[in-house]
Amino acid sequence: LQNFLCYTCKEYVEDLAKVPKAFLEEANVRLIVIGQSSYHHIKPFCSLTGYTHEMYVDPQREIYKTLGMKRGEGNNVSVRSPHVKSNTFLGSIRSVWRAMTGPAFDFQGDPAQQGGALILGPGNEVHFLHLDKNRLDHVPINTVLQLAGVKTVNFTNKPQIIDV
């Protein structure tokens, strides 16, 4: 995650929460989200997003540094995450509101830190690594699921037509 107040991270994790545990168990895969704030923010963030899979924190951002994750926004802001539903204005307002109603001066992570996605294991072998260039540069969740051998998920609320 970029940080726990980021509206794009919140909406991305809301979609991660829709991945059924049975899909992960069937593929022998674990879904883990790592944030870069205090562990005190895990429970409220999970309640807010409905996320029930594993979540950890790295307050010193050691994992971020080791993986070479960037700080700051890249030049290409035309990239748009399929999992972010809010526009920049409303999403930013919601993030500011959550910051104002939370503990004073607790940014819940470095706001300039970018996140990413990786597929790791078994062991320490990295099979896939995507470093976000900006807050909207998320890899589509179904891409990561497919690469990890997990069934994909319908993230839209629209009914699917299945041709038989």
The reply to whether 160 falls in a domain is: no
CATH code, 69: 3.40.30
**For the chain, percent of residues with pLDDT exceeding 70:** 73
On whether residue 70 sits in a domain, the answer given is yes
Tell which phi-psi region holds residue 61, choosing left (phi > 0), alpha (psi between -120 and 50) or beta: left
Residue 87 forms part of a structural domain: yes
What token pair was written down for 79?
């990239």
Domain count, the chain: 1
Q: Would residue 162 count as lying in a domain?
A: no
- Beta-bridge partner residues of 129: 118
In whole angstroms, what is the distance from residue 116 CA to residue 103 CA? 27
Q: Global pTM? A: 0.76
DSSP secondary structure, 49-92, as one string? HT--SEEEE-TT-HHHHHHT--BS--S-TT---TT--S-HHHHH
Domain annotation covers residue 140: yes
pLDDT single digits (tens) 5-28: 777 888 899 999 999 999 999 999
72: containing domain: 2-148
In a domain, 156, yes or no: no
> Could you read off the pLDDT of 46-77 as tens digits, one per residue?
998 999 999 999 999 999 999 999 888 765 55
* 155 domain-assigned: no
Would you say residue 54 lies in a domain? yes
Residue 103 DSSP SS3: coil
